[in-house]
Homo-oligomer: A and B are copies of this chain.
Amino acid sequence: MQQIIDFILELDKLKGVTRKTRPLGLERYENSAEHSWQIAMLAASLAPYAGSTIDINRVIRMLLVHDIGEIDTGDTLVYAEGDWKERKAAELAAVKRIFGLLPEQQGAAFLALWQEFETGETPEARFAHAVDRAMPVLLNLANSGQSWRENGVSHERVVRRIAPPIKDGCPALWAYLEGRLEEALQKGWFGA
C-alpha cells in the first residue's frame, strides 16, 4: 500500500508542469494533469468517430498516463523542432523511475500503456494521438490562437504537425478542424 501512496503523491507533481495553452478565461497556463483529464473526456466523447474499432477504455488509460514523464522533463511545445529523440529517451527514463515506485505488476501495466502510446501503432494509440493533438488546437480556436500567437507558430506548421495524426486516428475530426484552421488563418490568429 505504501508504494501506491508514494506513487500517487509523486504524480502530484504533474499539476505543476505547465503547458503553453491557457484555460479559457483564465490568465494562468494549463498544467499537464488537468490536460490529461480533458483529453480522456474528449476521447470518451469522440469514440464513435474513431478511424477503426477501438477499445476506448485502453485509450482512456493511455491518455491518463501519457504525460507522466513530464514530471522530470517538463512540457515541450508540440510544434518545437528540437531534439525529439533525446527528449523521448529522457521521458522513458522518467516513466521508468515513476512507475517503478509501484508494485511490479501495476508499474509494468502503466509502462506498457505509455509505450503503446509512444509507439503509436495500435488503433487505440493512433486514436489517442489524434485526441491529444486536437485538444490544444480546440483551445486555441476558442481563444483567438493564444498559444500560436505567443509562440510564433504559423498555420503551415500547425497543419504539418497535426494533420497526419488526426487524419489517421480520427478522420471526422480532421474534416472539422481543417476548415476551422483556415478561418483562423483569415482572422490572423497565427503567430508567423
Q: Smallest distance from the beta carbon of A57 to chain B beta carbons, Å? A: 4
Interface hub of A13, A15, A25 (most chain B Cβ within 10 A): A15
Which residue of chain B is the closest to A37 with respect to CB atoms?
Answer: B37
Which stretch from A39-47, A117-125, A154-162 is at the chain B interface?
Answer: A39-47
Q: Smallest distance from the beta carbon of A42 to chain B beta carbons, Å? A: 5
Q: Smallest distance from the beta carbon of A1 to chain B beta carbons, Å? A: 5
Contacts known (A37-B34, A60-B60, A64-B37); A16 close to B7, Cβ less than 8 A: no
Q: Smallest distance from the beta carbon of A109 to chain B beta carbons, Å? A: 8
Binding site for B on A (CB under 8 A): 1-2, 4-5, 7-9, 11-16, 23-26, 30-31, 33-34, 36-38, 40-42, 44-46, 48-49, 57, 60-61, 64-65, 102, 105-106, 110, 135, 138-139, 142, 172-173, 175-176
18 contacts between A and B (CB under 8 A): A1-B173, A1-B175, A5-B138, A5-B176, A9-B139, A12-B38, A13-B25, A15-B23, A33-B33, A34-B34, A41-B65, A44-B64, A44-B106, A45-B102, A45-B106, A57-B61, A60-B60, A60-B61
